[in-house]
Amino acid sequence: MERNYSIDFIKFFAIFAVVSIHTAPFLHYKNEFIEGENIGFIINVFARFGVPYFFAASGYLLGKKIKITKNKNSFSYIKHYLLKIVKLLISWTIIYFLYDLLILVITSYLNGLHIKSEVIHYLNSAFTLRRLYYGMTYGTSFHLWFLMALMWCIVILYFFIKINKIHLLLVFSVILNFIGLFGQSYSSIFNVPLQTRDALFFGLFYVTLGYYLSKKYEAQTLRVSPTLLFILFILFTLFQLVEAYVLVKRFGGPWGNYYIFTIPSTICLILMVINYQSLGKGTFISKVGQSSFGIYVIHPLIISLTYHALIFLEIEYITRTLIWNLLYSPILFVLSYFLYHLLQYLKAIIYNKTQQKLANIRTST
């Protein structure tokens, strides 16, 4: 399959949006001229396209890999794709589990708490049956829910691919998505007492949408100006901001994870991917976008280390300065990119040395 550069190009902005949600710039900043909470609210709502785009892009790529519905090679690809997700999920879950455990022991010791009791409480909270569905979303690993949700979405999608009922799944998933709104941003109007930031109510629709659009449209048949799609994306995002303002400021609702206008804004991005596949070709932005997953999995670790260090040094007040709120998100973004590549480089060195030692052992025997 010919590489679609626009996917990685848009991933750059999507992952920066996700990082901005987690760093929450300006949310707690305030002076006589700037009301930081309002700026933080705008950034948070605008950035909500990030995760839906990643779900939809995954579905789109899956659709391009599976050429026809009953392709006998489709199962082998799906199995390979799921195995890759499982490996990543397990490895990063272990990393964050050990990290959180270490931080817990250190902070418990420094605060004079009973270490054993704290550890037992942590283990009881971390390992529950619901983790089989939601993943390890406890502590610093909260963001790994995306991997678990993506895995379930792919499984469900593949089932409907095999029975040739994608249209049915699209309708079913959009209904679930609308129901899920009442567990998130619309919960102040009517509350659905469920965790709806998950595979069924959130991810499934966007993965199915991406897959459906990949099958329905081709670059040769879709003639829509990328400029028009970008304008529409901005317009729908502004509508989303109005939607969020009404829900939060007028109805007292929570800052939701997704909205109704998240749907058309995500569609615009996928149509741009289909219609303008060379967008960002050869640019550093696309190169960074290729590493979006690495940035995603590692940036909460840097956030945690940063704030623990600030608290330990008793200088956490700097998080309320203008410079911090302007620069922390982009600096974190850059650090996450380079740290992930450093880890990949070290991993390659260890792997090569291990393979060399095994080869020497086989030769000597």
Q: Which domain holds residue 275?
A: 5-364
Tokens standing for 80? 């390979």
Packed helices 5-23 and 36-46: angle between N→C axes, nearest 10 degrees: 150
Per-residue pLDDT of the chain (365 residues; tens, 9 = 90+): 667 889 999 999 999 999 999 999 998 888 878 888 899 999 999 999 999 999 999 999 998 887 544 555 677 788 888 999 999 999 998 999 999 999 999 989 888 888 888 888 888 777 666 777 776 566 888 899 999 999 999 999 999 998 889 999 999 999 999 999 999 999 999 998 888 889 999 999 999 999 999 988 765 566 778 889 999 999 999 999 999 999 998 898 888 789 999 999 999 999 999 888 888 888 999 999 999 999 999 999 999 999 999 998 999 999 999 999 999 999 999 999 999 999 999 988 988 888 887 777 777 76
Confidence at residue 219, expressed as pLDDT on a 0 to 100 scale: 57
Q: Assess contact for 212 and 170: CB atoms under 8 A.
A: yes
Three-state helix/strand/coil letters over 80-108: HHHHHHHHHHHHHHHHHHHHHHHHHHHHH
Tokens standing for 174? 């959009």
Tokens standing for 225? 């100006």
**Rounded to whole angstroms, how far apart are CA atoms 160 and 163?**
5
Confidence at residue 309, expressed as pLDDT on a 0 to 100 scale: 93
Number of structural domains in the chain: 1
User: Which one, of 107, 105, 102, 93, lies nearest residue 142 by Cα?
Assistant: 93
Confidence at residue 68, expressed as pLDDT on a 0 to 100 scale: 47
User: Which one, of 238, 228, 209, 237, lies nearest residue 272 by Cα?
Assistant: 228
Confidence at residue 69, expressed as pLDDT on a 0 to 100 scale: 44
pTM score of the predicted model: 0.92
User: Which one, of 307, 239, 232, lies nearest residue 270 by Cα?
Assistant: 232
CA distances from 275 to 35, 112, 128, 244, 267 (A): 40, 60, 44, 30, 12
Where helices occur in the chain by DSSP H, the ranges are 5-23, 36-46, 50-65, 74-110, 115-126, 131-134, 145-162, 166-181, 204-216, 226-245, 262-275, 284-290, 292-312, 322-364
Q: Is the dihedral of CA 172, 178, 179, 183 positive or negative?
A: positive
Confidence at residue 156, expressed as pLDDT on a 0 to 100 scale: 95
Confidence at residue 335, expressed as pLDDT on a 0 to 100 scale: 97
**Centroid of chain to Cα 116:** 34
- Could you write out the DSSP letters of every residue in 44-65? HHHGGGHHHHHHHHHHHHHHHH
Q: Assess contact for 96 and 144: CB atoms under 8 A.
A: yes
Confidence at residue 129, expressed as pLDDT on a 0 to 100 scale: 66
User: Which one, of 119, 146, 127, 142, lies nearest residue 52 by Cα?
Assistant: 146
Confidence at residue 1, expressed as pLDDT on a 0 to 100 scale: 60
